[in-house]
Chain A
Amino acid sequence: MSLIQEIDFGTPIRIAERTVTLTIDGEQVSVPEGTSVMAAAMSRGVKIPKLCASDNLEPFGSCRLCLVEIEGRRGTPASCTTPAENGMVVHTQNERLAKLRRGVMELYISDHPLDCLTCSANGNCELQDAAGEVGLREVRYGYKGENHLDDVKDESNPYFSYDPSKCIVCSRCVRACEEVQGTFALTIEGRGFDSRVKPGPTNFIESECVSCGACVQACPTATLIEKSVIERGQPEHSLVTTCAYCGVGCSFKAEMRGDELVRMVPYKAGQANEGHSCVKGRFAYGYATHKDRMLKPMIRARITDPWREVSWEEAISHTASELKRLQAQYGRDSIGAITSSRCTNEEVFVLQKLVRAAFGNNNVDTCARVCHSPTGYGLKMTLGTSAGTQDFASVDYADVMLVIGANPTDGHPVFGSRMKKRLRAGAKLIVADPRSIDLVRTPHVQADFHLQLKPGTNVALVNSLAHVIVTEGLVNEAFVRERCDLDEFETWARFIALAQNSPEEMEQYTGVPAKDVRAAARLYASVKNAAIYYGLGVTEHSQGSTTVMALANLAMATGNIGHVGAGVNPLRGQNNVQGSCDMGSFPHELPGYRHVSDDATRETFQALWGVEIDDEPGLRIPNMIDEAVAGNYKGLFVQGEDIAQSDPNTQHITSGLLAMECVIVQDLFLNETAKYAHVFLPGCSFLEKDGTFTNAERRINRVRKVMAPLCGKDEWRVFIELAHAMGYEMDYSHPSEIMDEIAALTPTFAGVSYAKLDEMGSVQWPCNEAAPYGTPLMHVDRFVGGKGHFMLTEYVPTRERSGPRFPLILTTGRILSQYNVGAQTRRTENGFWHKEDVLEIHPFDAEQRGIVDGDLVSVVSRSGDTALRAKISDRMQPGVVYTTFHHPGSGANVVTTDNSDWATNCPEYKVTAVEARRVNSLSTWQERNAEEDVSLRRVLEATPDAAE
């Protein structure tokens, strides 16, 4: 195995209809119009020396190393900034050019430390390479002149070092921060010889830098370099794999030395991220080898007992025995499982098969229940399938973006950067969000409209947008007539045109000025390509599914389906939310979103699996907990999920867990749910897995094992062995065989195989005989179900209301540096940026309550109370407070209620009526939780036998 080296063409390869043909060093080359001479040369394998150029950045022309001669032209133009032209004759190497380049290199090297042997970049330094390429043999200026060799290092960032003494001021880092990331944190300060790269008037950690790593990746020297490389040395082999954080699904090269991970480098050929990354995927992987990892199976009879390490054989045998006992005692439906959107498709598929075939019921649900289940319902009802319509690249063609209930720069940072790039190029932006998210105003981006609605009024707002479109004659009638069910459209149009849906009527609920709604609706409907992007701020409401359908209505009414730059695009929270849903994790659906009551579908599975499958839906997560509290549900297998922290109304969840007799947790860590568990099965990190993740654009990406499972067993093998112990046989020798079975049973995956994924890099489903290379855009000529269906979306206010006792509305969300329950990111240096969850409160609300920044504040709802530090923030609107739930001790979900979406039971995390007041102690729940962190997590000292 070797280190994967990607070709750098020096400047971007342009997309153009016309090509130009030129001659380079005697060879004819044809390239798309607009391509540089440098990239044209590299396309034939001719590498022109360069330092300031990189093909993920626009040409800059500063280093003067890439000079070429062009017949008929004077001088020696820079090949990076010179576009290739028809008939051009280019010479990249001759004595004159060599001499010029050596002269340039001499100047660079005269102000650069000659410490190559001890430099952390040694062997992987473009300056060193360029010196070799130009044949530098001496530096006539010497090394004693004025220089920057004593410049002081900036070590403030936990993940990378900035050593200005090695900087050649090529500006690649500055341009990467601007062009790729869109943060504009870096600049060149000073002029001439004094020019230096600076993160503003401060150091890196105090600056606007978001630690995405683009500057480090762009740096041609060791000026900006990962601290992990400084500590461990250069990697020697690598594999391409997929990030295990958000639903963007970035491809990374996991660069290794032996079986130690040296660094994660974003993969340019990765079709989801195209070489970009965020602080989580790029740097926050230390959790995978954190000391908190539990590597041995453990069991205990009661949750107050200490854990006892056991062998895998004993753990599986004990688990099977307990599950069988429960079914014998309480009935077949008394047990079930929760699959994880952090696990691979193959692991999820096998777990749901275990439930349906070995447990003999359909009590399997997934953590997508609490995030995007309304997407599944809403898009299926309107567009015909439970998935977003576009690929990420589509946003490059959007004229208008409507971002509602999503915070892409924090939640989906790599896609957020892509959005910002398009917005800087002139696309218009409508943000609908109760908070002023970064996209509302960020460097070189400003929303044209920020519709700052009150939490819980999404349907009212989207209906009023649609009202304007219908009543002002902005409907794309040709599209509707050709593509949609016309009767349904007419019914919908009559409904939406009612005065009750007008912006003026809805303003009383939304708080958004009617004139802004009208203007935003006209903007959305006025362009060729208008794209909708939404997140959990849409789904996690009592009317989550209704809003999803309202958004689909909006897109269909304006013809914004089936072409690039448009669509309805859910931004999925976790890495494999789409995949876990595709794989049949919902209790009513077999893989491929087919209802369990469908005889033909069930017979296909029964024929291959050799068992009868229940034709009735099973329990969803909230129903499982309710049934447990009622004493009917006794055993739960929880795969890579932490419902005791992530699910709403914590005390109800833990009451349910306490009422069960066998809770099995499979995870990397003894998480909050494990405090209530009787069996702990250690899981594998994404670095220890072979499999696939499916991202928000339906892209199936390979996950590749770069190190052996630290716990000694692949997760998918655990399910096979558990099934065997329960009397049902499954037989796979590799995850590729599981994918083959998925393909055999699921029409939309029929053409998917590991061989195809290796060949294509990734593929977007549907991938089958009709679309052998996948489907980047859905519904191009017709909707999956034939016609698009308009659904009625009456605004029904949530029953969660603010009032005298609870005058504020709490809404919850996520931040850039942390990820969901924080189990991974809290165990990395990312903790630096977010040490605790805080309560963001508007200055007016704070002043009314005598709260100042940093005060401990009690947050009380109808469900419970907790205490958080206050952060005064004008990102909030008066009457609305905000917090995150990345730290278990915060107890944010002690406060949230068990209100849920009417269609799917997705919890209403985004609307909880609360009161906030200053306190001087933690809540009773927090104090008890702190005690239980110790009492319910005790592990017996391992005996020699158990440790073997």
Chain B
Amino acid sequence: MNQDTHIFAHEDNGAKLIHMAQEIADYFHAYPQERAVESIASHINHFWTPKMREDFLAAADAPGQTLTPLLQAARGGIKRKKIK
């Protein structure tokens, strides 16, 4: 069913996830680099579904997309979806 007559310009999911991840990075920015990198990845692993993590990584890989250095450093610690 799609009866949506409400038109609303909205960030696409990938952009939104990158924004959310950046806000997490902004918080941990106050910590020393090593701890900040580990904490950002851990936070995302802790609270985001595997699909959100995959969508984030895909959005981060999109052409033209750049991450801040701290977030870029943290992305390697983000867990990939397990094959079940």
Contacts and interface: CB of A to CB of B under 8 A. Distances in A.
A903 B8 CA distance: 26
Interface in B23-51: 23-24, 26-27, 29-31, 43, 46-51
B49 A623 contact: yes
Contact of B4 (A595, A658, A902): A658
A617 B20 contact: no
Given A626-B13, A902-B24, A617 B48 contact: yes
B6 A654 contact: yes
Nearest to B50: A616
Q: Looking at B12, B20, B43, which has the most chain A CB atoms within 10 Å of its CB?
A: B20
B1 interface: yes
Contacts of A652: 8, 10
A333 interface: yes
A304 interface: yes
A655 interface: yes
A563 B24 CA distance: 34
A356 interface: no
B20 A546 contact: no
Interface in A740-792: 792
Given A303-B3, A655-B4, A794-B27, A616 B49 contact: yes
B68 interface: no
A594 to B, nearest CB: 12
A794 B46 contact: no
Interface string B1-18: 111101010101100100
Contacts of A287: none
Interface string B45-77: 011111110000000000000000000000000
Nearest to A623: B52
A617 B52 CA distance: 10
A617 B4 CA distance: 30
Nearest to B10: A652
B28 to A, nearest CB: 8
Contacts of B30: 495, 792-794
A595 B46 contact: yes
Contacts of A597: 46
A651 B46 contact: no
Interface in A606-623: 616-620, 623
Given A794-B27, A794-B29, A794-B30, A651 B1 contact: no
Contacts of A617: 46-49
A538 interface: no
A179 B42 CA distance: 51
Contacts of A627: 13, 51
Nearest to A363: B49
A661 interface: yes
Interface in A501-553: 542-543, 545-546
Contacts of A794: 27, 29-30
A588 B23 contact: no
Contacts of A269: none
A903 B49 contact: no
Contact of A658 (B3, B46, B50, B52): B3
Contacts of B50: 616
Nearest to A658: B4
B44 to A, nearest CB: 10
A655 B6 contact: yes
Contacts of A616: 49-50, 82
B16 A626 contact: yes
Q: Which of B1, B24, B48 has the most CB of A within 10 A?
A: B1
A796 B27 contact: yes
Interface in A784-832: 792-794, 796
A629 interface: yes
Interface string A294-331: 00000000111000000000000000000000000000
A117 interface: no
A1 interface: no
B48 to A, nearest CB: 7
Nearest to B82: A616
B35 to A, nearest CB: 10
A832 to B, nearest CB: 34
A903 B40 CA distance: 10
A896 to B, nearest CB: 13
Contacts of A792: 30-31
A619 B17 CA distance: 13
A658 B2 contact: yes
Given A630-B13, A902-B23, A588 B47 contact: yes
A905 interface: yes
A629 B23 contact: no
A659 interface: yes
Contacts of A796: 23, 26-27
A616 B80 CA distance: 11
Contacts of A619: 49, 52
Interface string A900-937: 10111100000000000000000000000000000000
Contact of B8 (A543, A588, A651, A905): A651
B24 A905 contact: no
Contacts of B27: 543, 545-546, 794, 796, 902-903
A903 B24 contact: yes
A786 B52 CA distance: 33
A849 to B, nearest CB: 27
Nearest to A863: B8
A658 B6 contact: yes
A652 B2 CA distance: 14
A865 to B, nearest CB: 12
B57 to A, nearest CB: 15
A655 B4 CA distance: 6
B20 to A, nearest CB: 7
25 contacts: A303-B3, A304-B3, A333-B49, A333-B51, A542-B23, A616-B50, A617-B46, A617-B49, A618-B49, A619-B49, A619-B52, A627-B13, A630-B12, A630-B13, A651-B6, A652-B8, A655-B8, A658-B1, A794-B30, A796-B23, A864-B8, A902-B20, A902-B23, A903-B43, A903-B47
Given A303-B1, A659-B4, 12 more contacts: A303-B3, A545-B27, A588-B47, A617-B49, A618-B49, A623-B52, A630-B13, A659-B2, A661-B1, A900-B20, A903-B47, A905-B20
Interface of A: 302-304, 333, 495, 542-543, 545-546, 587-588, 595, 597, 616-620, 623, 626-627, 629-630, 632, 651-652, 654-655, 658-659, 661, 792-794, 796, 864, 900, 902-905
Closest 3 CB pairs of A and B: A902-B23, A794-B30, A792-B30
